[in-house]
Amino acid sequence: MNIKKRVTVLSMAAVAALISIPAVTGTASASTASSHATSATSSAASVRQDATGHGLIAVPVAGAPRIKTTHGGLLTTTSPSAPRGTKATTGAASAAFARTGPFYLYNNDTGKCLDADLGTINRDGTVVQLWNCISGNKNQWWYEDNYGSYARFWNAYSGRYLDADANNLNKNGTVIQLWDLISGNTNQWWSVNSNGTITNEDSAAGIHDFLDADTNTMNNPSTRVQLWQFVGGSNQYWH
Architecture of 33-236 per CATH? Trefoil (2.80)
Please report, for the chain, the start and end positions of each structural domain, with discontinuous segments joined by +: 33-236
Chunked mean pLDDT (size 10), the chain, 239 residues: 34 33 36 34 29 29 40 50 35 59 95 97 98 96 92 97 93 96 94 93 81 95 96 95
For 222, the enclosing helix (H) or strand (E) is none
User: Looking at residue 15, what is its pLDDT?
Assistant: 29
Of 167, 194, 157, nearest to 60 by C-alpha is 194
Of 160, 176, 150, 167, nearest to 228 by C-alpha is 176
User: Looking at residue 116, what is its pLDDT?
Assistant: 98
DSSP-based three-state secondary structure for 25: coil
Cβ neighbours for 199, distance < 8 A, ≥ 6 positions apart: 66, 190, 191, 193, 209, 210, 211
Cβ 28 vs Cβ 137: under 8 Å: no
Read off φ and ψ for residue 204, nearest 5 degrees: -70, -20
Hey, what amino acid is at 55? G
User: Looking at residue 170, what is its pLDDT?
Assistant: 86
User: Looking at residue 122, what is its pLDDT?
Assistant: 95
Give the separation between CA 154 and CA 179, rounded to whole angstroms: 9
Instruction: Say what the pTM is.
Output: 0.67
